[in-house]
Structure 1
Amino acid sequence: MTVRKNQANLSPAEKRNFVEALLELKRSGRYDTFVTTHNAFIMSDTDNGDRVGHRSPSFLPWHRRYLIEFEQALQAVNPEVALPYWDWTADRSPTSSLWATDFLGGTGRSRDGQVSDGAFAVTAGSWPVSVRVDGRGFLRRALGAGGRQLPTRAEVDSVLAMPTYDTAPWNSASAGFRNHLEGWRGVNLHNRVHTWVGGQMATGVSPNDPVFWLHHAFIDRLWAQWQARHPRSTYLPAATTPNVVDLNDVMRPWNDVTPADMLDHTRHYTYDTAA
């Protein structure tokens, strides 16, 4: 069984194995297919039209399936690798261990955001940004620029306390746990982290930055915690809802995966502490 660990607790060998598996997926071209998929959905998901991966109830099960597929791709390179998660309520600084040269590298230079250290810097020659929204072919970051702050534990707890998964109109205006976690309302958890990192993470091609996977693993862990705290609450809506994915509807781009299939993460992986 795959066990996802807090990145702060990874051994040097686990960090090295994770980085090397990422680099191999990049060399093979497989990595960029994940970036392309994410960008296609974030561009097509709209509040008033068909929406699957974002701004909708299926945000959480869609990304859960997406991460499983990516984790399986990593494990095809090295079966010992699992997705780590980044607890940004604890590791809140640009000097935190995940930004070290031996792991993800640090922030970008002020002139153009270019990351200049670590395996994913353009100077290392192994991480060209090919699926992009502008002409810059290098990884960019601006950690905490403009005085931005990451969400706090108290803010996370306030969202985990919400008893209802989602509500009409099932988009970025909805109340409920999903939308507050996604970040279109309230204290803004998921979206705020993307903008705190900056660079590609603030765009539809956010998976170009490897930290995307650690961030979304933590978002998934928070969903698992919410599920454990509210066992009588479940995915909504249940059926016959226009433009969104109901409990037993198939989620594109897969032709055989529904939100119901994604409710029990323990069929696929566990986390290193009880969720």
Structure 2
Amino acid sequence: MLQWQHTTAPAPVIVSTSYSAPSSSQASWVCQQPSTRREWRTLSEPEKNDYINAVQCLATKPSKLRNNGTLYDDFPWVHKRASTYTHKSAPFLPWHRYYIHLYEKALKEDCSFTGDLPYWDWSLDWNNFHAAPVWDSVSGLGGDGDASGAMTVGEGRCVTKGPFSSIKVRYFDGEEHPHCLSRGFPSDGELKELGELIKPEVIEDLMTEPDFDKFASEVERRGHKFLSHSVRGDLSKFTGPNDPVFFLHHTNLDRLWSQWQQTDPAKRLNAYNGKANGNSMEPAQLSDPLDMDGLSRNLMVQNVMETQGGQFCYKY
């Protein structure tokens, strides 16, 4: 395991954790043995425990971006700072593909994780949200906030059961606001209505959309509204990566994009259009940069379009 030391500099220090992509002299490099990202409920108990332990480990490692906080805190910090340009615009799917890759890389390099990112296929739980295996307090990521506890953030309360019941997160909506991991599941009626957004037939219909911009916009709208409104608490704001379920959610979104691409690779593998970012109306291009705000070196969109080539070597 790599050992990192706290910095004592008076100003934030950025240390790059850049991913080493094949150089021009390695142009023949190909992904020959892709790893497989699997749905949470298909993992064995030891595999679930290994993943949970690695995520917990991130909270014991010092931040690589700031003078305070942890490596766990770096991810919500960066996500919030990039949120205005990465959401409701074309970079949403490619930016998050690279972002969750960096999260997986941190789990492996800093916390000795030997598995792969899992995903939560919430379409399987659209009509029975509470029974989703991810909420199990023993073999999952813990459940709802304590109904008898005080309100904390985002209409949520402290999660008091499960592996993340004792974790403390530093930010909420970009501000320094140390607090417990918080969730606030709404009423059964609200959950049923939200489930309509992501039920299997809706997802199947999305896969028939030929236009990238329309597909990506609808996946973002449905997936984000479902998750943020059904879990609330930390997931109600762009510091949502405070909640470890965020990464299972975004790995699922990446899976849906990958499936959409593979439906018609000749047309969809490099399909990319829409707004270049959420702050302008410039048309999106494959040469647009993906800004990781110091978490790693920036790449271009064209570098992250394939899951089995270039930067990556995984499948679903």
TM-score normalised to the size of structure 1? 0.83
- Measured in 1, the distance between the counterparts of 2:230 and 2:298 equals 35
- Measured in 1, the distance between the counterparts of 2:159 and 2:137 equals 11
- Measured in 2, the distance between the counterparts of 1:238 and 1:152 equals 28
Deviation of 1:97 (Å): 1.5
Give the equivalent residue in structure 2 for 1:225.
Answer: 259
Please state whether the residue corresponding to 2:119 is helix, strand or coil: coil
Contact 2:275 2:283 survives alignment (8 Å):
no
**Which residue of the other structure, out of 143, 157, 164, is the alignment partner of 1:120?**
164
Give the equivalent residue in structure 2 for 1:170.
Answer: none
Give the equivalent residue in structure 1 for 2:215.
Answer: 177
Give the count of matched residue pairs.
Answer: 246
Give the equivalent residue in structure 2 for 1:98.
Answer: 134
Deviation of 1:238 (Å): 10
Contact 1:238 1:247 survives alignment (8 Å):
no
Distance 1:108 1:55, change over 3 A: same
**Which residue of the other structure, out of 170, 177, 185, is the alignment partner of 1:130?**
170
Give the equivalent residue in structure 2 for 1:252.
Answer: 291
- Measured in 1, the distance between the counterparts of 2:163 and 2:223 equals 28
Unaligned regions of 5+ residues in structure 2, if any? 1-33, 62-69, 152-156
Task: Give me the identity figure in percent.
Answer: 28
Deviation of 1:40 (Å): 1.1
Please state whether the residue corresponding to 2:171 is helix, strand or coil: coil
Flag as ranges the 4+ runs of structure 1 deviating above 4 A: 241-245
- Measured in 2, the distance between the counterparts of 1:259 and 1:265 equals 13
- Which deviates further from its counterpart, 241-250 or 148-157? 241-250
Whichever residue aligns with residue 60 of structure 2, its letter is: R
Task: Give the RMSD, CA atoms, in angstroms.
Answer: 2.1
- Measured in 2, the distance between the counterparts of 1:211 and 1:238 equals 28
**Which residue of the other structure, out of 206, 209, 224, is the alignment partner of 2:240?**
206
Distance 1:89 1:237, change over 3 A: closer
- Measured in 1, the distance between the counterparts of 2:297 and 2:160 equals 40
**Which residue of the other structure, out of 51, 59, 78, is the alignment partner of 2:112?**
78
Superposition map of 1:226-245 within 5 A: 226-231=260-265, 232-233=267-268, 234-236=271-273, 242-243=281-282, 245=284
Whichever residue aligns with residue 152 of structure 1, its letter is: K
Deviation of 1:255 (Å): 4.7
Matched, 1:154 2:201: yes
Give the equivalent residue in structure 1 for 2:315.
Answer: 271
Give the equivalent residue in structure 2 for 1:191.
Answer: 225
Contact 1:163 1:230 survives alignment (8 Å):
no
Give the equivalent residue in structure 2 for 1:57.
Answer: 90
TM-score normalised to the size of structure 2? 0.72
Deviation of 1:264 (Å): 0.4
Deviation of 1:109 (Å): 2.2
Contact 1:4 1:269 survives alignment (8 Å):
no
Bigger CA radius of gyration: 2
Q: 1 or 2, which has the higher strand percentage?
A: 2
Distance 1:59 1:79, change over 3 A: same
Deviation of 1:243 (Å): 4.5
Matched, 1:67 2:107: no
- Measured in 2, the distance between the counterparts of 1:131 and 1:261 equals 30
